[in-house]
Amino acid sequence: MEKKTYNLTPEQEEQLVESEFRDLLAGYMASNHRKKVDIIERAFAFAKSAHKGVRRRSGEPYILHPIAVAKIASMEIGLGSTSICAALLHDVVEDTEFTVSDIEQHFGKKVAEIVEGLTKISGGIFGDKASAQAENFRKLLLTMSKDIRVILLKMADRLHNMRTLGSMAPNKQYKIAGETLYIYAPLAHRLGLFAIKTELEDLSFKYEHPTEYDRISRLLKVSEEGRAMGYNNFATPIRERLDAMGLKYEAKARLKSVYSIWRKMETKHIPFEEVYDLYAMRIIFDCPDGVGEKEMCYRIYAALTDLYRPHPERIRDWIAVPKANGYQALHVTLMGPDGNWIEVQIRSRRMDEIAEKGFAAHWKYKIGGEGEEESELTVWLRTIKDILDDPNPNAIDFLDTLKLNLFSSEIVVFTPKGELLTLAAGATVLDVAYTLHSEIGSHCIAGKVNHKLVPLSQKLNSGDQVEVLTSQSQTPKPEWMTFLSTAKAKTRLRKELRREQQPYIDEGKKIFDKFLEENNITLNNDVMTKILGTYHVTSREELFLRLGNGEASIDDYLNVNTSKNARSLVSRLFRLGFGGSGKKKEAPKLPPVMPSPGKINTKETYILRFNDEGRNFTLSDCCGPIPGDDVMGFINDDGIVEIHSLTCPRAQALKASYGSRLLAVKWESVTEKFLAKVRIEGIDRHGILQELTRLISTALDIDIRSLNIQAREEVFTCNLSVKVYSTSDVDALCSKVMKIKGVKRADRVR
């Protein structure tokens, strides 16, 4: 957390700043970079003077932030003097009167270009209603193709901001933590910055779910002694075998992160006690003279499997085929003496450095020349070019597509000529077609996987050989979007569909513009939002397409012959939701929502209130939050506070895109019931359904709204909807249900 400097004297502050800078220099001097201390000292003096008198929210002198970013860039990512200078100067152009030209004059063109790249990332919008944050990511990625150090320094900047997030207002914490988890952590993973990715995830989780973070941290501390004993029992025979081989190595346990543990508990619906893979073992060796890294990895693998039984389906060879982010290692999962499976990661010292500090740091600037590493990264940069070049981006679509491209799980397939393609897990024949070329994708009719004919929607597995079959008579179809898993393919298909649909879109826009003009309707964002809602479409383009191809029409009675009063009425009717066939669309039935009393202060915690008039919020349909959940507020287009669970995928996108409309919220005393869903599993027996319903409705006095029970081969599954006041009611229900004979699991589902 941030150092509190409120009570320091000017002399003490000066000593603190000087101490932090000397720490930065000491780390740099210990690295294997050429020692250019003079330019770093000049950059520090320049930045210190430029930021003189400026403080962070915590009260610290502002200069401590660029020093911290420079330390991360140097010691945790492994960058050299150019990056350290740029880190020290990264806020000078944005926050002071100095220009990029001033930076170039004092520190050279390369430092100035990196500072300019970092400055450009701030601000900017896609269009009249899109997200500034999405545009920031777009600019961020565009800078990568010019100089990868821009993105690496941005990651260092984000990491320090996350480490010092405690001094920010709650709504800012949600925004920054949300966009970090949604974009920056996957991006760090894709760049090979594993240690930074893990810390970003844990810090985001800490601020979004503080209670769960503290609980899991306490459980890890309590179980530490037993875990250490189990690890030593497993590791001791391995160390003895490696010592006998005469190997110089380091063996250590890698504890699963708090966020990873929580994710596993959530996705598998299991308690902490059932997360057995809390740690993995990592073996890092120095390669002996005359022995290749790959050969040494396999020798260690052979030694391990002589001691313990390997899991046949959990061997991962990332040496022969490295991950797209440059990661190399041999993973094997072994059965330990206590009966639990333990993963062992085997790496050379070089592989470990790339895995921990990041593949990008070993690109051009550290190893020099056009090596294999550069070609790997260049290939990845090309995969995002299609997204960046999309001329009609929608903020949320852009972020979703980008996140899809940062997807961590990968498969490797081969073309008929033996060329290797790395794709997102779940990729299909059609993904391969569009990866090869837009034209091949648009004319794809089927494929051959391992010489067997398959449809274009066929999902692929690692190692498949894929041949794409095409026909000139084939054209792209909108339903193909559901067959695709890769960002490149989705972006290319979207472009092809837009090109074919453009004449209809143009015609629909003419119809729409003529209607507005003839009826004297002034268009603004609020009116447009309601019009799109009336037609159940998500964008103007989709509306224009439906009008242009005849799928929708503007009512015949709304024409130029209407009187002035009628035109006014028409305008009001349109705003209220008339359109399409001429019949009023049924608005969704929302719970009574009290109008907000004036402008909402996003800097204060918003109290979620219930009274006789209704509530001062509405619940989102996507995640169904109830009192007791960790939630956030989002001010929608109608000025109403919309409540989302912090784990909701839609909330993740909102946090990354619309930070200025987020609210920290707090439940007031609850006076009404909410719908919750519970899943119960167990061994089927006669009368168990009757026991369940009697317990829930009678003993617990909980209203059952729906119940569906299915039994298959002596195992039953019951999906239940109940009305409850809060999560504590659901917890009590699950706890009681678990005491019924035969019930093995009872969890709330969302």
Residues known to be catalytic: 94-95
DSSP strand pairing (662-663 vs 665-667) = unpaired
Amino acid making up residue 674: F
Whole-angstrom distance, CA of residue 716 vs CA of residue 682: 6
Q: Are 283 and 348 in contact (CB under 8 A)?
A: no
Angle at 372 between CA 367 and CA 376, to 5 degrees: 110
Three-state secondary structure of 76-97: HCCCCHHHHHHHHCCCHHHHCC
Task: Find the Cα–Cα–Cα–Cα dihedral 530, 534, 535, 537, rounded to 10°.
Answer: 50
Helix axis angle, 194-208 relative to 258-268, nearest 10°? 70
Task: Find the Cα–Cα–Cα–Cα dihedral 34, 35, 36, 38, rounded to 10°.
Answer: -170
Whole-angstrom distance, CA of residue 135 vs CA of residue 130: 8
Angle at 459 between CA 377 and CA 342, to 5 degrees: 70
* CA proximity to 441, closest of 386, 393, 402, 391: 386
What is the token pair recorded at 581? 């066939």
Q: Which residue has the tokens 């130029």?
A: 560
What is the token pair recorded at 634? 């989002």
Three-class SS state of 317: strand
Q: Which residue has the tokens 């990196």?
A: 114
Give the number of other CB atoms < 10 A from CB of residue 657.
24
| Range list of β-strands (E), 318-457 | 330-335, 341-348, 410-414, 420-424, 444-449, 452-455
The number of C-alpha atoms within 13 Å of 137 and in the hemisphere containing its C-beta is 29
Instruction: Give CA separation, 479 vs 391, 444, 484, 494, 540, in Å.
Output: 22, 14, 10, 11, 20
